[in-house]
Structure 1
Amino acid sequence: MNYIKKHGEALLYVLPAALIIAVFFISSILYTLVVSFTDWDGLTRSHWVGLKNYVEVFSDVTYITSLKNTFMWVGLSLILPVGLGLLLSILLQQIKGQRLFKNLFYLPYAMSLTVVGVIWIFLFSSSGINYLLTHMGLESWTRDWLQTPHYNTVAMLIASLWQGTGTNMLLFLVGLGSLPKDPFEAAAIDGANRFQIFWRITLPLLNPVTIVVLGLALVNSFKTFDIIWVMTQGGPYRSSETLAVTMYRETFMLFHFGQGAAISILLTILTVVASWFYLRKTIVEE
């Protein structure tokens, strides 16, 4: 009550916008949930099918492949861009011309994922990486990168890594720049080496920044769509689809609105559950 009395006027200004967002957000979720229990094609009258759409997600080979690809994207997106961003931020602290390198590494993030996808389509074509491998005497290493299952997912992960690492690097640089000097000086006096200082002092002090970086990477990896759709459209034979791509294809290309809604609800649940466990763990550790 005291909080409401103290901030009541400010809350009144925020309330209309909050109500509008809440109404549209909640109503869209409820509507999608209802559609997920039907076989609606967007045109004709829908029919109630119960849990049929959800059962198909865990029984159809295409959907299972999509689910596996989604978890692979999540796992590698948490390890590679975050780990490389931390490594680059530490290295940049030790060299001159830090501003130049920061701009170079951040530049890909200023591009849309569509542009990034087009750039890497060229790089993985016969005129790009394959051309270099051929002239280096490594012709046996050449592949049709974007049309070969498993290799196409690796290729898209590389493109995503190139685009997202710079942001993580900048966030870690901000965190490193705000760390107190006293613990590092005390550790150096006590004879700690660089690895010990990094593991025992730098990482624990960076924990608030790391929580933010990992949280953003977690949510973004679950909804990866743009770069996959531009580079492969989930092909060949839907082998590189994630749940977000499958949801789009089922809903807006095949007009299986019920199936698409079921996938979107599943994707939402996975994102919320993963975020809850992650935040719960980090809060407990704090």
Structure 2
Amino acid sequence: MEPQKELHIPSEEIYEKPKIKKPNTNKKQRSFKPKSWKPYLYLVPAVLFIFLFIYSAIFTLIYSFTDWDGINNPNWVGLQNYQEIFSNSVFITSFINTAIWVVVSLIVPVGLGLFFSVILQDVIGNTIFKNVFYLPYAISLTTTGIIWSFLFSSSGFNELFETLGFSEQWIRNWLTEPPYNTISMIIASVWQSTGTNMILFLVGLQSLPKEPHEAAMMDGASKLRVFFTITLPLLKPFTVVVVGMALVNSFKVFDIIWVMTQGGPYRSSETLAVTMYRESFVLNNLGLGSAISIVLTILIFILSWFYLRQTIVKED
């Protein structure tokens, strides 16, 4: 018998463990290359805009406590400008007109936009109607004011009513008699803003799921009940956008009023935005105009905050 060979197991010293390279901490960190700053250049316009906005807001706030004509040195008057805003009959009229614009803008163009969007949703060839309703929004506010100034002149609706044999109650000076001047300008604004509200609601209606509507119809629910219980709640995100836009735009409406009446007659159709412009750049009361702008900004901020807060809370 051959002698059994001993198995020779190599010692661990023969097999060296793989060496793990440790990172060299002594190397200097890479310096920033010029290319690494390139993406930050896109932020420059936004940063400049925010800086200019904050600077102008602080500047306006400071000068709202002064009596300044834009040329001579401003005189510190404290709260005198704010006291005049809430005591002068002209400014009270501006507050009332602004409130009328806000209420009507939140009801009429938003309601009409929703109404037309529901009607045109399933209409064949609705693209033509979309363009017809949206066309006024593509026209500038100044052009809209000129068009409706002619329509409310003696050669416009008055001549039409007279030709049709309407009573004398329908024939009047629409742009020079309060409150018909404010009503006339609101009609022009509604004509222009209804189309964009309709388009936004149409986008929302086309993005809604069809299953809840089909299930409700199968259960025997009427179209009116389906609209108020299913469609309208599902449209809430789009309604928030439309109402928010209408709220802000109604506070800062200026172009149509200035073109059609310039706030007249006797400043009876001015809103806060028109009064701010007149006091600042026509009458050179920049201190008072700054105070009006601060009041207008605070009103928009408070109402927008309450509106968005209530909307978010209800969604939660």
Structure 2 residue corresponding to 1:232, chosen from 258, 261, 285: 261
Task: Give the secondary-structure state (helix, strand or coil) at the position aligned to 1:152.
Answer: helix
Q: CA RMSD in A?
A: 1.5
The one-letter amino acid paired with 1:118 is: I
Tell me, yes or no, if structure 1 residue 279 matches structure 2 residue 308.
yes
Tell me, yes or no, if structure 1 residue 120 matches structure 2 residue 121.
no
Tell me, yes or no, if structure 1 residue 155 matches structure 2 residue 184.
yes
What's 1:82 paired with? 110
Structure 1 residue corresponding to 2:71, chosen from 23, 43, 50: 43
Tell me, yes or no, if structure 1 residue 255 matches structure 2 residue 284.
yes
| Count of residue pairs the alignment pairs up | 279
What's 2:246 paired with? 217
Task: Give me the TM-score of the superposition, normalised by structure 1.
Answer: 0.95
Tell me, yes or no, if structure 1 residue 134 matches structure 2 residue 162.
yes
Further displaced range: 196-205 or 139-148: 139-148
How far the C-alpha of 1:71 sits from its partner, in A, is 1.0
Percent identity, please: 61
How far the C-alpha of 1:139 sits from its partner, in A, is 3.4
Task: Give the secondary-structure state (helix, strand or coil) at the position aligned to 1:127.
Answer: coil
Further displaced range: 127-136 or 212-221: 127-136
Structure 2 residue corresponding to 1:98, chosen from 113, 123, 126: 126
The separation in 1 between residues aligned to 2:280 and 2:133, in whole angstroms, is 36
The separation in 2 between residues aligned to 1:241 and 1:67, in whole angstroms, is 9
What's 1:207 paired with? 236
What's 1:242 paired with? 271
How far the C-alpha of 1:94 sits from its partner, in A, is 3.3
Structure 1 unmatched ranges of 5 or more = 1-7
Task: Give the secondary-structure state (helix, strand or coil) at the position aligned to 2:153.
Answer: coil
Structure 2 unmatched ranges of 5 or more = 1-35
The one-letter amino acid paired with 2:201 is: F
Task: Give me the TM-score of the superposition, normalised by structure 2.
Answer: 0.86
Task: Give the secondary-structure state (helix, strand or coil) at the position aligned to 2:76.
Answer: coil
Q: C-alpha offsets along residues 96-120 of structure 1, whole Å, 9 cap, x if unaligned?
A: 2200000000000000000000000
The separation in 1 between residues aligned to 2:41 and 2:167, in whole angstroms, is 65
The separation in 2 between residues aligned to 1:82 and 1:11, in whole angstroms, is 40
The separation in 1 between residues aligned to 2:152 and 2:66, in whole angstroms, is 41
Larger radius of gyration, structure 1 or 2?
2
What's 1:4 paired with? none
Seen in structure 2, the aligned counterparts of structure 1 residues 165 and 10 have a Cα distance that, compared at 3 Å, is: farther
Tell me, yes or no, if structure 1 residue 173 matches structure 2 residue 214.
no
The separation in 2 between residues aligned to 1:271 and 1:81, in whole angstroms, is 19
How far the C-alpha of 1:14 sits from its partner, in A, is 5.2
Q: C-alpha offsets along residues 54-74 of structure 1, whole Å, 9 cap, x if unaligned?
A: 011100000000011111101
The separation in 2 between residues aligned to 1:34 and 1:151, in whole angstroms, is 38
